[in-house]
Structure 1
Amino acid sequence: MGITAEQIQQTARDAARNLPGADHGRPFVDKLDVYKVAGKVFLIVTDDPDERIITVKVEPDHGRSLRRRYSSITPGRYLDKTHWTSVGAHEEITAHLVRDLVDHSYELVLDSVPRARRPRADSGSRRKQ
Structure 2
Amino acid sequence: MALALPDVSHSRPFTSRLDVYKVAGKVFLIVTDDQDEQIITVKCEPEHARARVHDYASIAPGRYLDKRHWILLGPGPGITKRLVTDAVEDSYDLVVARLPQRDRPRAR
TM-score (norm: length of structure 2)? 0.95
Q: Offset at 1:112?
A: 1.3
Q: Offset at 1:52?
A: 1.0
Q: Which runs of 5+ in 1 are unaligned?
A: 1-13
Cα RMSD, aligned residues only: 1.0
Aligned to 1:65, which of 38, 51, 74? 51
Which consecutive aligned stretches of 4+ in structure 1 deviate over 6 angstroms post-superposition?
none
Q: Which runs of 5+ in 2 are unaligned?
A: none
The reply on whether 1:20 has 2:6 as its aligned counterpart is yes
- Provide the C-alpha distance between the structure 2 equivalents of 1:78 and 1:72, rounded to a whole number of angstroms: 17
The reply on whether 1:75 has 2:28 as its aligned counterpart is no
Counterpart in 2 of 1:118?
104
- Provide the C-alpha distance between the structure 2 equivalents of 1:63 and 1:101, rounded to a whole number of angstroms: 10
Q: How many correspondences in the alignment?
A: 108
Name whichever structure is richer in strand by fraction.
2
Q: Which has the higher contact order (CA 8 A, sep 6+)?
A: 1
Aligned to 1:36, what secondary structure does the other structure show? strand
- Provide the C-alpha distance between the structure 2 equivalents of 1:84 and 1:58, rounded to a whole number of angstroms: 6
Counterpart in 1 of 2:36?
50
TM-score (norm: length of structure 1)? 0.80
